[in-house]
Amino acid sequence: MEDQVCPRCRTTKYRNPSLKLMVNVCGHSLCESCVDLLFLKGSGSCPECQVPLRRSNFRVQLFEDPVIEKEVDIRKRILRDYNKKEEDFATLNDYNDYLEQVEEIIFNLTNGINTIETNRRIDQYKKENREQILKSKMKLGRGELELEELIEVEKQMEQERINDLAHEEVEQRRKKLRAKEALIDELMFSHGDAADILKNFQAGLDAELRAEEAAKANSAPKQTQFSTGIKFTERHAYKPIILQEEGPLYVYESPRFECNGPTPPTWAEITSEGSGYLDHIRRPTADESAGGFDSAVSCMRALQEAVVSLYYTNT
């Protein structure tokens, strides 16, 4: 909360929980009250950089860093003109060089590096590629076309479902009306008991309802594709798994201690009573014992280091 501060009136989010910071194309933030005060006539200049701004271009700050807001605005403005697609280039390297050029322009404008030269490059690009820019604005990319087709198919399916539901609702109303009229005629002209007539009529309705549900379940169209448009039967050609030759099974072998010297005492010999190995070894404290330390381990390692490689000869 304390990080959100209006740079002009110094109002914080802590003192005013409803504080809204707003930014413009220059990237400097102002609170909503300062924007209303400074841009009362609809236009004015930024109090920090003195750049002319319009009141209508202010929007609520989305990112914590105002520089990111500035970069987003610059990126939107640049990509309106630098709108070429991959299919507009002969090779992938040319397309990558074009993308690198776009990112360089955005970086320079965001950080104020060679802004005059960068704006001159942008104006030169607009003059040289005016027709291409207009064509690209009118032409949808390959991915956008696929997305439009998918959305159109989903709209058609949704409309068909709505029409089916509406038609089914009308049919249900007609059936209820016909059933009601048939029941009234049966009660008026039949000489039987009214309770038996109602019971038989309800049983007939239940049987008819079960038959309709069974027919609907059998005639329901099966789902043949995912929501992304990929059919269930489509398969991708994956490379077969290369089976590696199986070697022999693993057999555990206990590690062998190559002493190359006198045999050191074992753990049982060191820890046995009366052995004398631990007589002059410091006992572990309570904290050391809680951590799992045992002084016999240090004693055994010291004895092993004392006798190891005593029989070694340099031949």
Query: What tens digit of pLDDT does each residue of 269-297 get?
Result: 999 988 899 998 898 999 999 999 999 99
| Mean pLDDT, residues 247-275 | 88
Distance CA 25, CA 67 (A): 10
- State the burial class of residue 117 (Cβ atoms within 10 Å of its Cβ: 0-12, 13-18, 19+): exposed
Report whether pLDDT(39) > 70.
yes
Q: What residues does 22 pair with on adjacent strands?
A: 30, 60
Half-sphere exposure of 51 (CA within 13 A, CB side): 13
- Of residues 236 and 122, the one with the higher pLDDT is 122
| Mean pLDDT, residues 144-165 | 85
pLDDT grade for 268, boundaries at 50, 70 and 90: very high
Report whether pLDDT(238) > 70.
no
Distance CA 28, CA 58 (A): 10
Q: Domain coordinates of the chain in residue numbers?
A: 73-138, 143-213, 267-307
pLDDT of 141 reads 58
pLDDT grade for 96, boundaries at 50, 70 and 90: very high
| Mean pLDDT, residues 238-257 | 78
Q: Is 227 helix (H, G, I), strand (E, B) or coil?
A: coil
Distance CA 26, CA 46 (A): 8
Least confident of 85-99, 120-134, 168-182, 239-253: 239-253
Instruction: Report whether 262 contacts 308 (CB < 8 A).
Output: no
Report whether pLDDT(299) > 90.
yes
Q: Is pTM, for the whole model, over 0.85?
A: no
pLDDT of 51 reads 83
Instruction: Report whether 38 contacts 13 (CB < 8 A).
Output: no
- Of residues 239 and 7, the one with the higher pLDDT is 7
pLDDT grade for 229, boundaries at 50, 70 and 90: low
| Mean pLDDT, residues 4-30 | 83
